[in-house]
Structure 1
Amino acid sequence: MPRAEVGTPKYLANKMKSKGLQRLRWYCQVCEKQCRDENGFKCHAQSEAHLRQMLVVGENAGRHIADFSSQFQHDFVQLLSRRYNTKRVRINQVYQEFIQDKNHLHMNATRWVTLTEFAKHLGRSGIARVDETEKGWIIAWIDSIPKALAKQEASIKKDRATRDDAQRERTLIESEQIERAKLEKEASDEGSASPMQRRFSLKYHCMSHMTRKEPKMYSYLDNDND
């Protein structure tokens, strides 16, 4: 069937349809192409461009699936945290908002086949609290930022305490070294005195004792003579 010419009503109608949200099952994540219906998706799957791209992906399918899964989880959790923070919400509600973006990464390209499997994965990974209720799976994002900040603060305090202990130990060692050096210097000064200096010091000491004035003694005989 020939394509509608640019500017014709048919062309404008097709453009309007392409702007809206299409069926997720008719989207090819590998080629990033949205097909309008099942017939269009089958035609695309048989096209040369799609088959060539599939050969490239097939060479390392595990890595591509892991990349798609990581990107899908990142975008989904980012929406969950910004839109609902830590409030409890049905995961299907978050998913419906998530797929409103035409350029979102589709879950059929990830390792998770269903939304339930993805919800369980978030619970096991500690990213969200997950509960199964009558209304479906309820999730709540776990804000790990306060925990990270508390851990970082504890690490800083520990490092500061370690540095303070090390500083006190260095100060004590320096004080001991200064005192030891002082004592060694005094001992060295005493030992380095010359023999003449020592004799002079001894002579001066003896003379100081000899020239000391003795107190005068009085006897009772002196009193009688007077």
Structure 2
Amino acid sequence: MGRAEVGTPKYIANKMKSKGLQRLRWYCQVCEKQCRDENGFRCHTQSEAHVRQMLIIGENPQKKIADFTEQFKRDFISLLRSSHGEKPINANKFYQEYIADRNHVHMNATRFVSLTEFVKYLESEGICNVEVDEKSREGGFTIAYIDNTPEAVRRRQLAQKRERAGDDDSERERKVLEAQIKKAQEEIEKKAAGKSAEEENNEKTKELQRSDQQPIKIGFSLGSGKASGLAKKPAIPLNRPKKLLKMK
């Protein structure tokens, strides 16, 4: 059966399928060719071009595997840094993003047998922070890139300095608040003490007051006239003698 002619619907459908992500076991990293099914992959491995490439690699297979491993690690880390930065992401989920590009180096061409082994390698080399992912449905591990560039180091130091400054401000505010609370308590205690003293004085004043409401009487005497300096005037008789009346 011949190939579909250019421009036909079948040709376009085949092109669209070829752009999509296929199974890794049907991908030939040596020839950089993606096969669509097992039959196609078997036919490719029996082709003359594939056999010729395998003979070339067979002369020094360790060097070729090392080159594939280095290229895979470089592309994987570069995509992780550019797309997610230092934010954590599930390793399986990110690997699906990585293999979405059909031109990448596949893991089956490297020295790493599984993704778990590669993730542990990144942790041991200090390239990524790795933690067990318990929240995600995919499970596995979460990876977060560690940026050790001078700019990133300065940025982290500045963030730590700001955090410490924030802690100092919080501690200062806490001390001021405690001092205000202590001062308010002292004022309350002083007011309570003054009130109790005033009540005590009022009680003493009430004790000194008379219980009966009778008026107080004060007696005094003026004494004799001499003592008082007042002289008695002689009394004038009203009936004069008759002799005196006649002389007038």
* TM-score when normalising by structure 2: 0.57
Counterpart check, 1:71 vs 2:71: yes
Change (3 A) 1:147 1:117: farther
Letter in 2 for 1:137: F
Q: Cα deviations across residues 137-163 of structure 1 (Å, max 9, x unaligned)?
A: 11111111139978xxxxxxxxxxxxx
Give the Cα–Cα distance (whole angstroms) in 1 for the partners of residues 85 and 126 of structure 2: 15
Alignment deviations for residues 29-76 of structure 1 (CA, whole Å, 9 cap, x no partner): 000111111110010011111111001011111011101010110111
Gaps of 5+ in 1: 151-226
SS in 1 for 2:97: helix
> In the superposition, relative to structure 1, how do residues 8 and 83 fare at CA in structure 2: closer, same or farther (>3 Å)?
closer
Aligned to 2:2: 2
- Structure 1's consecutive aligned runs of 4 or more residues displaced over 4 angstroms after TM superposition are 147-150
Equivalent positions of 1:1-226 (< 5 A) are 1-134=1-134, 135-146=139-150
Q: Is the Cα contact below 8 Å between 2:90 and 2:133 reproduced in 1?
A: no
d(CA) in 1 for partners of 2:104 and 2:5? 30
Alignment partner of 1:12: what SS?
helix
Amino acid at match of 1:145: T
CA deviations on 1:150-190 (whole Å, 9 max, x unpaired) are 8xxxxxxxxxxxxxxxxxxxxxxxxxxxxxxxxxxxxxxxx
Cα distance in 2 for residues equivalent to 1:133 and 1:67: 31
| CA gap 1:148/1:58 in 2 versus in 1, 3 angstroms | farther
Give the % identical residues.
64
The whole-number CA distance in structure 1 between the counterparts of 2:140 and 2:8 is 46
Query: Which residue number in structure 2 is paired with residue 192 of structure 1?
Result: none
Return the TM-score normalized by structure 1. Answer: 0.62
When the two structures are aligned, how many residues end up with a matched partner? 150
Which of the two has greater helix per residue? 1
AA aligned to 1:3 is: R
**What residue is the counterpart of 1:168 in the other structure?**
none
Identify unmatched segments of 5+ residues in structure 2. Answer: 155-248
Quote the Cα distance in structure 2 between the aligned partners of 1:147 and 1:127. 17
